[in-house]
């Protein structure tokens, strides 16, 4: 994959999809439907997916594409592919809480190598540059003109006073039990893949996920975190979280700055 070609395309499609999502988000009303697994889907998910998948297929026709909203793509097999969640955090979107993102990533040999996470309602964008360094962009998010970029890096964690981030919609007792193994200074909640990005910027030190996620939920944030010097490992044995699994379902995991002294599950 030519990363110099890939990164601008992912960034542009994320911005275009974000504009479409915000158009629907700011409307008076929008329909919420249920998918076969009872998870919600809106016109924003579908419009963003159509835009992103068409753009990726046009630019990279020979690369396997997996996207949440196209069930047929879930039958694909391989460890190198583009993967999309056009609207991560649909529940946040429905409740107009703002913590939703556009996620686009490229996985190579099971590892998310490049990704973009765009939170249009929060006006925050994170992506990996062609060289792999993770950055946050600020500015007007122009389609062609890249705004000011700031390199982001994980924290040098203080293990006696850790900053924890956890899911806003899926926090449970098992998550709290694990968090309680650490010396915690503060804990915050965030929706969607923004949790990875808060670890990537050093705003949090660790994000444990004791709950179901799919690869399209995590790949872009995972790529950004890797590009900021972070790591994502399985919750059970602390081996790296890999992609291209049989059904694209993730085990429980921990995303963290390497200076955090991980506790056993």
The predicted-structure confidence for 46-67, as pLDDT tens digits, reads as follows 999 999 999 999 999 999 999 9
The pair of structure tokens assigned to 15 is 């911005």
DSSP structural state of residue 258: T
Binding residues for substrate: 68, 87-90, 217
Q: What is the pLDDT of residue 226?
A: 98
pTM of the complete model: 0.96
Report the chain's mean pLDDT, rounded to a whole number: 95
Q: What is the pLDDT of residue 39?
A: 79
Fold observed for domain 162-256? D-Maltodextrin-Binding Protein; domain 2 (3.40.190)
Residue partners of 165: CB distance under 8 A and separation at least 6: 187, 188, 189, 190, 195, 198, 199, 203, 204, 206, 207
Q: What is the pLDDT of residue 204?
A: 98
Class of domain 3-151: alpha beta
Quote the longest CA-to-CA distance of the chain: 50
3-state helix, strand, coil in the chain (%, to 5): 30, 30, 40
Any idea what the Cα angle at residue 222 is, between residues 236 and 167, rounded to 5°? 70
Q: What parts of the chain have a pLDDT lower than 70?
A: none
The helix (H) or strand (E) run that includes residue 77 is none
The predicted-structure confidence for 156-188, as pLDDT tens digits, reads as follows 999 999 999 998 777 788 999 999 999 999 999
Q: What is the pLDDT of residue 239?
A: 98
Binding residues for Mg(2+): 68, 85, 87-88, 217
Domain boundaries, the chain: 3-151, 162-256
Q: What is the pLDDT of residue 40?
A: 78
Binding residues: 68, 85, 87-90, 217
């Amino acid at each position: 994959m030519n990363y110099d070609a890939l990164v601008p395309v992912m960034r542009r499609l994320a911005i275009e999809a974000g504009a479409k999502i915000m158009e629907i988000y700011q409307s008076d009303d929008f329909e919420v439907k249920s998918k076969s697994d009872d998870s919600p889907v809106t016109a924003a998910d579908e419009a963003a997916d159509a835009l992103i998948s068409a753009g990726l297929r046009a630019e990279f026709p020979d690369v396997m594409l997996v996207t949440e909203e196209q069930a047929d793509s879930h039958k694909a097999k391989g460890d190198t592919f583009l993967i999309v969640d056009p609207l991560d955090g649909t529940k946040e979107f429905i409740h107009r809480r703002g913590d939703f993102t556009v996620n686009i990533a490229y996985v190579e040999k099971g590892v998310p190598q490049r990704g973009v996470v765009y939170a249009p309602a929060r006006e925050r964008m994170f992506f990996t540059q062609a060289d792999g360094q993770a950055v946050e962009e600020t500015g007007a998010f122009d389609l062609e003109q890249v705004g000011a970029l700031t390199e982001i890096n994980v924290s040098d964690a203080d293990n006696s006073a850790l900053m924890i981030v956890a899911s806003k919609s899926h926090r449970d007792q098992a998550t709290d039990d694990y968090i309680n193994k650490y010396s915690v200074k503060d804990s915050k909640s965030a929706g969607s893949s923004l949790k990875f990005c808060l670890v990537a910027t050093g705003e949090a030190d660790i994000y444990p996920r004791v709950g179901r996620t799919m690869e399209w939920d995590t790949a872009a944030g995972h790529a950004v975190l890797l590009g900021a010097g972070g790591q994502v490992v399985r919750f059970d044995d602390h081996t790296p979280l890999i992609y291209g699994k049989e059904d694209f379902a993730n085990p429980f995991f921990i995303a963290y700055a390497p200076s955090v002294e991980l506790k056993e599950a």
